[in-house]
Amino acid sequence: METKKNSLLIIDDESSNLKVLTHILGSDYTIYTATNGIDAIKKTKEFLPDLILLDILMPGMDGYKILLEIKKIEEVNKIPVIFITGLDSAEGEEKGLSLGAVDYITKPFSPTVVKLRIQNQIQIVTQMRIIEKLSMLDPLTGLPNRRSFDERLKMEWKQAVREQTKISMLMMDLDKFKNINDDYGHQQGDVVLQTASRLFSQIIRRPGDFVARWGGEEFVVLLPNTSLEGAAEIAENIRLKVENTMVERSDAPGFYITISIGVNSIIPTQDSSIDSFISDADKRLYIAKDSGRNKVVYQS
């Protein structure tokens, strides 16, 4: 299987520079080009390159202004930028670095230096992505963790506000989990969490839906573009699947578990509160727990 190439956006108004850099880097990277500030910002948002090479001296919007504009855009402001310049000025270099550039490549281009500087930055990007991915996953279950859920909810919430669509969530808690740990031991408790996580992943399969470990024996599901009734149906499917699945034991017969689920749904506005949205789902979860467990509650 062929490995996907990293991508570069080269921003320069001189076609000769674009040709030289494309020749040096084209065999190792996917190359996008732009010749002015407006086109550069548009292509940055469109292609989300791994790295940007940005000329300083350009007509209209110079490299410094383009970098400032890129830093204002949330979805692209972490893309590293290397300035390419014919200037030999410590003051100019200091200005670029203070604005957020990560490095400089000077003209005329040395192919070896260009390749090495690009490789260094791409390696840093790759390492940061691995670190970020690991920090967003729960190590025991392999599901996204609470931090990851919070980030996803913010993104989906903004879209729901903008488009005035429904967004729903399930707050889920494995019943009597403390008893499982006390009766069978914490290692078997871990098996329960892993088993439940696999079941959730089997059911939550639609594009855009998102399941995460909230903490302890609690899990949460985010369901964009889903009504309260639709979310309650998904919750009931999960409840039944958990209830009817045996948790395996290596040295003894398996056992069954149950789950309680609180469901909430909203068409959010600018005045709506994410905290209240989560809190209402949590309240319904505890109604399910207090009224006998192994239930789905979607009305307070």
Q: Find all residues with CB under 8 Å of 12, minimum gap 6, and list them.
A: 18, 21, 33, 35, 53, 55, 58, 84
Q: What is the pLDDT of residue 2?
A: 57
pLDDT in tens, 8-23: 999 999 999 999 999 9
Tokens representing residue 126 in the block = 């790759």
Residue 217 among the catalytic residues = yes
Q: What is the pLDDT of residue 237?
A: 96
Q: Answer yes or no: are the C-beta atoms of 211 and 199 closer than 8 Å.
A: no
Identify the active-site residue in 75, 217, 218, 248.
Answer: 217
For 27, 194, 224, 235, 238, the CA distances from 261, given in Å and listed in that order, are 52, 18, 18, 7, 9
Q: Answer yes or no: are the C-beta atoms of 165 and 267 closer than 8 Å.
A: yes
Q: Answer yes or no: are the C-beta atoms of 263 and 235 closer than 8 Å.
A: yes
CB neighbour burial string for 55-75, b if at least 16 within 10 angstroms, e if fewer: bbebeeeebbebbebbeeeee
Q: CA-CA distance, 181 to 188, in Å (whole number)?
A: 7
| Domain map (residue ranges) of the chain | 7-135, 146-297
pLDDT in tens, 140-189: 999 999 999 999 999 999 999 999 999 999 999 999 999 999 999 999 99
For 26, 68, 182, the CA distances from 73, given in Å and listed in that order, are 27, 9, 50
Task: Kindly indicate whether the domain formed by 146-297 is annotated with CATH number 3.30.70.270.
Answer: yes
Say what the pTM is.
0.69
The CATH code belonging to domain 7-135 is: 3.40.50.2300
Tokens representing residue 4 in the block = 């996907």
pLDDT in tens, 245-285: 999 988 889 999 999 999 999 999 999 999 999 999 999 99
pLDDT in tens, 205-226: 888 899 999 999 999 999 999 9
